[in-house]
Structure 1
Amino acid sequence: MAEVDPITVDEMYTPRHPEGAERILNRSFAPRRAGLLYALVDDLDIGPGNVVLDIGGRDASHSIALVKAFGCDAVSVDPVDSNNERARAAVAEASLTGQVSIRPGVMEEIPAADGEFDLIFSRDMFFHVVGADQALAEARRVLKPGGCMVLYQTFATDRLEPLEKAQIYAGLAVAPERMSPDDFEKRALVAGFTIESNDIIGSEWREAWEEEGDCLTSRQLLYAARMIRKSEQLRAELGEADYRVELANALWGIYTMIGKLEPRIFLLRNPE
């Protein structure tokens, strides 16, 4: 970050806003909501008869939401056995076994036929992908000509310091090379996609959650404070792996809110 001139003590304590800076700041600046992602899918006219690939589908919650919202079919692909077990249970509970299928697999080798899908839906999972070129080539292979990929991904900004990167990347199984939006754009173009939009979300969704009372990031700030202050105790209670994951996840949310991390939505199209 560029250096700035320091504020003087006089400037710091001289009132400039009779109504108070807190009143100016304590108002909403109309952040967009997470529903924006589904609105984008809606704009693509996904509906009955279409098939969506939910890559890195975890517990299939997004697959279920897409099917309920648009009447499409969905395939959730995830490499983690426990995720797929939870996904099958969730699909059965939602009575959507006929519309949502679960397939073990990774993005670098998608278990699907050529041109099987009308849409690929990817929510904050691409930073796990090591072989980005192979993954994007596979994504294009399984998409129909003219099909789209909606990719929500968190990237690093120049505010994120090296030690901060090291901690959260190690704690969340992040491939550091995936955290550059410029690198992602270059690889997507090389894979043959066209980039129809690159929408910077930044802190908007998290601002909205705070304003709506969910306060996820506030809780993560509290958790991080506890885990740092009571590190020894909580490492013993949680175990080393869970401690590192939970701390990194809490910091991820905080860093997103203050601009060290920057979520974006890319809309990619497989040319006709």
Structure 2
Amino acid sequence: MIATGVVACPPMGQAEAITLDEMYHPGGADAVNRALNRSYHPRSHGLVFEIVDDLDIGPADVVLDIGGRYAAHSLAMVEMFGCRAVCVDPVDSNNERARTAVAEHPAGSRVSIRRGVMEDIPGSDGEFDLIFSHDMFFHVVDADRALAEGHRVLKPGGHLLVYQLFATDLLEPGERARLYADVAVVPERMEPDDFERRASKAGFTIEMIDIVGSEFREASEEDGTNLTSRQLLYAARLLRESTALRAELGESEYRVELGNALWGVYQMIGKLEPRIYLLRKPTAPNA
């Protein structure tokens, strides 16, 4: 098992207070500018597909894109690797958009859409070579059943790739309660130790843990996509114009949009920690 990435910052409030002399010492600004106005070469979101590529997924393979929403990742994988993909999502409107996207895509014939949840995957035993779970496992209510289902539909030797966010000690209890309620998070899914324990219990071998931290978000700022900057601006507007935007958007849409904006901002400042797990179904029991 390989663990890479960053270590979270220590909880706030444990260090001694900075003095005024330390705060305003001569030359501090120049040193800060030199240190922080250079790139530390963050990896981009393309890393998840590099991991798929390393698994030698190809035309003979079938990938399950679980919780795949609009089939964007399914279409990307069939285009990159020539595989077939099955996109499964429980939300009817997501599946409708996915079918439209598939119909309009040149490689769409290699993607099929099925309605379902991870706790009851619409697939046969050993049907898939890879399960691709991207930023969705925090919605899963019954993690043990979901992982058992993933184990069932994977071929022996197949992999489950999970990109998932977890809470850190910097996420305050009040922030947790509001965020989890607003973006339909099951609180127990936000603890990495719990996920690892349940994955092992389901029979998976944990081959890799990559602690991505803020890298994808930093890369988005450096390449000009500015995803987190935009979400920070949205959060500011949603908070400052709360009354007007609640009336315009409706209460549930307002809460979802504020939750989504903070979901991104919290990744950048270490309150949420993205990780990539690569799990393997053994080729034989206890292998």
TM-score, normalised by the number of residues in structure 1: 0.98
CA displacement 1:126-184 (0-9 Å, x = unmatched)? 00000000000000000000000111000100110011111110110000000001100
3-state SS, counterpart of residue 113 of structure 2: strand
What's the counterpart of residue 4 of structure 1?
Answer: 15
Moved over 6 A (4+): none
Q: Paired residue for 1:204?
A: 215
Look up the match of 1:219.
230
CA distance in 2, matches of 1:113, 1:254: 39
Aligned partner of 1:261 in structure 2 is 272
Q: Give ranges in structure 1 of 5+ residues lacking alignment.
A: none
Asked whether the equivalents of residues 212 and 273 of structure 2 are also in contact (C-alpha less than 8 Å), the reply is yes
Q: Post-superposition shift, 1:14?
A: 1.2
Please name the residue that 1:67 is paired with: 78
RMSD of aligned C-alpha atoms? 1.0
The answer for unaligned runs of 5 or more in structure 2 is 1-10
Q: Give 1:6-21 correspondences, 5 Å limit.
A: 6-17=17-28, 19-21=30-32
| Number of the residue aligned with 2:129 | 118
Quick check: 1:87 aligned with 2:98?
yes
Where do residues 85-234 of structure 1 align in structure 2 (5 Å cutoff)? Answer: 85-234=96-245
Q: For the residues of structure 1 that align with 2:177 and 2:45, how far apart are their CA atoms?
A: 28
Aligned partners of 2:274 and 2:26: how far apart in 1?
Answer: 36
Q: Aligned pair in 2 of structure 1 residues 23, 191: CA closer, same or farther (>3 Å)?
A: same
Are 1:44 and 2:55 an aligned pair? yes
After superposition, the C-alpha distances for 1:114-137 in whole angstroms (9 at most, x for unaligned) are: 000000001000000000000000
How far apart in 1 are the matches of 2:278 and 2:22? 46
Amino acid of the structure 2 residue aligned with 1:140: H
Correspondence for 2:4? none
Tell me which amino acid in the other structure corresponds to 2:191.
Answer: S
1:19 Cα offset (Å):
3.1
CA distance in 1, matches of 2:245, 2:24: 41
Partner SS, residue 263 of structure 1: strand
Contact kept? 2:102, 2:109, Cα under 8 Å: no
Q: Does 1:248 align with 2:259?
A: yes
Give the superposition deviation at 1:97: 4.2
Are the aligned partners of 2:75 and 2:108 in contact in 1 as well (CA < 8 Å)?
Answer: no
Q: CA deviation at 1:18?
A: 7.2
In structure 1, the residue corresponding to 2:30 is in which secondary structure?
Answer: coil
Pairwise mapping of residues 19-30 of structure 1 onto structure 2 (< 5 A)?
Answer: 19-30=30-41
SS of residue paired to 1:98 = helix
Aligned partner of 1:56 among 31, 56, 67: 67
The separation in 1 between residues aligned to 2:50 and 2:108, in whole angstroms, is 25
Say which is worse superposed, 7-16 or 138-147, in terms of deviation.
7-16
Aligned residues: 272
C-alpha distance in 1 between matches for 2:99 and 2:74? 11
Report the residue type matching 1:54 in the other structure.
D
Give the distance between the partners of 1:97 and 1:31, measured in 2 at CA.
32
CA distance in 1, matches of 2:29, 2:181: 47
Q: Deviations over 1:40-84 (max 9, x none)?
A: 000000000100000001000000000000000000000000000
- Choose which of 243, 248, 258 in structure 2 pairs with 1:237: 248
Identity in percent: 68
Could you tell me which amino acid in structure 2 is paired with residue 26 of structure 1?
A: N
SS in 1 for 2:185: coil
Aligned pair in 2 of structure 1 residues 151, 18: CA closer, same or farther (>3 Å)? closer
